[in-house]
Amino acid sequence: MEKYYQESIECASREEIKAIQDERLVKQIRHVWDNVPYYRKKMEEKGLTPEDIRSTDDLHKLPFLSKKDLRDAYPYGLLAEPLENCVRIQSTSGTTGKRVVAFYTQHDIDLWEECCARAIMAAGGTNEDVCQISYGYGLFTGGPGLNGGSHKVGCLTIPTSSGNTDRQIMFIMDLNATILCCTPSYAAYLGERMKEMGYGPDDIPLKAGIFGAEAWSEEMRQDIQKTMGIKAYDIYGLTELSGPGVSFECSAQDGMHINEDHFIAEIIDPDTEEVLPEGKEGELVFTAIDKEAFPMIRYRTRDICSLTREKCSCGRTHVRMTKPKGRTDDMLIIRGVNVFPSQIETVLLNQGYAANYQIVVDRVNNTDSLDVQVEMTPEMFTDNIGEIEDRQRALSDGLKSMLGIKAKVSLVAPKSIARSEGKAVRVIDKRKI
Ligand code: DLL
């Protein structure tokens, strides 16, 4: 039986959802107009006043907000509440430039934790579960968000944070953890380590995993499910909007329901900024309609996916987004061809490899080169050169047909590629160094 944290909202009719969104959007636009000069100026530049926004039908009139706006306005320029009303900040891992600092009132924390509670219950969680949270705690939103959600559901929460893999496994086994929350790459590593320690799927008490914060393929899901004997659910979110729980998978494991009472989603063409119809792939844009401190109007996420309103077997009515296949800024352009790391992952996993790989892009003699280093699994490990060459050729052919360009494949020994405890770094683009 499907379980819901807030059934009446999660399964509301389209009309009810639209009514909530209309009302909240109008209120939110008035809030940012009154309290954030940065938004007011952007609206004025488009000749808009709050009176022009009377329902979600007017959303398209509003200006977009980009990562650059967040950097320009750092740290307080987009804050919509006095600091004395704020109770927390979180921040992105930001590898380039200034970090994004997001502010939360207590209302914003509650809203965020409720979204995470919805995700945990959609993964079958109840107050009888033991939920181990192996996302990082601290400025990163993964640990704090799911910790709050787990409390709201009433699970016994184990806040291990990331790292110290053998201790993670000890807690899972000794305290009978039933739900594991971490990045998919860390879940794969935990699975690998459990296997080495001699634990098969039947020995592991886990029943579900809630994995997100990075792009991962369907093939990787199958692998993790098999190794640990669990159902693996995807969860999506970003610091700017609160953190994990903006959307989450249900028992159907077929796209992530976006919490539409809090976030309005649009898909746009990243080049023309035109809003695309349902089903078309493009850049995901969000408007947070119920946040107080850090509202975000038409925020361009750079994540690439599509939306569907097709009926879902779980009973939830909120729109679903497909697994993001990566970010526009993760997309590699190699010899003029667009390549997403997730496409490479799909080929590797289909040929029986685990998700332990590194992609190195370089430019040699004015030509881009794509080098994929892939670990052999312990079962396929051999020093027979002929066998290795055959495998490399098969992978190279697979990549050619998926990507349309040639890649150099190097098979390396098991365990020679560093494992990740958080978001995995799969790509080294030497052209940018
Ligand atoms: O990664 C929040 C989060 C924590 C989500 C734990 C899920 C679980 P940021 O560090 O701000 O926040 O990074 C946000 O990560 O724009 C996507 O590019 C990527 N991302 C997040 N979830 C997924 C996912 C957290 N399920 C950025 N699939 C987003 C693919 C994801 N990419």
Distance 8 CA to ligand 1 centre (A): 27
Distance 119 CA to ligand 1 centre (A): 14
Q: Tens of pLDDT along 200-234?
A: 999 999 999 999 999 999 999 999 999 999 999 99
Question: Among all chains, which residue has been given the structure tokens 């891992």?
Answer: 93
Pocket of ligand 1 (CB under 6 A): 92-93, 135, 141-142, 212-215, 234-239, 243-244, 301, 303, 323-324, 327
Distance 345 CA to ligand 1 centre (A): 18
Q: Tell me the β-bridge partners of 427.
A: 359
CA–CA gap between residue 167 and residue 142 (Å, rounded): 19
Q: Rounded mean pLDDT of the chain? A: 96
When the candidates are 3.30.300.30, 2.60.40.10, 3.60.120.10, 3.30.2010.10, the CATH number that belongs to 332-429 is 3.30.300.30
> Contact, 410 vs 392, CB < 8 A?
yes
Per-residue pLDDT, 274 = 98
Distance 152 CA to ligand 1 centre (A): 22
Domain 1-327 fold is Rossmann fold (3.40.50)
Per-residue pLDDT, 1 = 86
Ligand 1 atom nearest 146 alpha carbon:
6
Looking at ligand 1, which residue's alpha carbon is closest to its atom 27?
Answer: 238
Distance 71 CA to ligand 1 centre (A): 19
Per-residue pLDDT, 52 = 98
CA–CA gap between residue 240 and residue 299 (Å, rounded): 9
Ligand 1 atom nearest 215 alpha carbon:
30
> Contact, 225 vs 218, CB < 8 A?
no
Categorize the per-residue pLDDT at 365 as very low, low, confident or very high, splitting at 50, 70 and 90. Answer: confident
Looking at ligand 1, which residue's alpha carbon is closest to its atom 13?
Answer: 238
Looking at ligand 1, which residue's alpha carbon is closest to its atom 30?
Answer: 215
User: Among 303, 301, 298, which residue's Cα sits nearest to residue 42?
Assistant: 298
Mean pLDDT of 180-185: 97
Calculate the alpha carbon distances from 126 to 17, 149, 154 in Å.
26, 11, 7
Q: In sequence order, which residues have a C-beta less than 8 Å from that of residue 287 and are 6 or more positions away?
A: 25, 28, 59, 62, 263, 264, 266, 296, 297, 298, 299
Q: Tens of pLDDT along 233-272?
A: 999 999 999 999 999 999 999 999 999 999 999 999 999 9
Distance 141 CA to ligand 1 centre (A): 9
Per-residue pLDDT, 331 = 87
Per-residue pLDDT, 188 = 95
> Contact, 185 vs 281, CB < 8 A?
no
Distance 213 CA to ligand 1 centre (A): 3
Indicate the top mutation candidate among 71, 220, 238, 331 to test ligand 1's pocket, ranked by most ligand atoms within 8 A of CB.
238
Residues of the chain above pLDDT 90, percent: 93
Distance 286 CA to ligand 1 centre (A): 14
Per-residue pLDDT, 328 = 80
Lowest mean pLDDT among 146-150, 163-167, 330-334, 344-348: 330-334
DSSP class per residue in 298-355: SEEEEEEE-EE----TTS--S-EEPPP--BTTT-EEETTEEE-HHHHHHHHHHTT--S
Q: Tens of pLDDT along 310-353?
A: 999 999 999 999 999 888 878 899 998 999 998 999 999 999 99
Per-residue pLDDT, 93 = 66
Per-residue pLDDT, 330 = 81
Intrachain domains 1-327 and 332-429 with the same fold:
no
Per-residue pLDDT, 95 = 55
Per-residue pLDDT, 326 = 81
Domain ranges of the chain: 1-327, 332-429
Looking at ligand 1, which residue's alpha carbon is closest to its atom 6?
Answer: 142
CA–CA gap between residue 280 and residue 115 (Å, rounded): 26
Q: Tens of pLDDT along 68-125?
A: 999 899 999 999 999 999 999 999 866 556 788 999 999 999 999 999 999 999 999 9
∠ CA(118), CA(91), CA(267), 5° rounding? Answer: 60
Looking at ligand 1, which residue's alpha carbon is closest to its atom 1?
Answer: 213
Calculate the alpha carbon distances from 368 to 3, 212, 327, 407 in Å.
50, 31, 20, 10
Distance 239 CA to ligand 1 centre (A): 8
Q: Is the dihedral of CA 346, 352, 353, 359 positive or negative?
A: negative
Looking at ligand 1, which residue's alpha carbon is closest to its atom 4?
Answer: 142
pTM score: 0.94
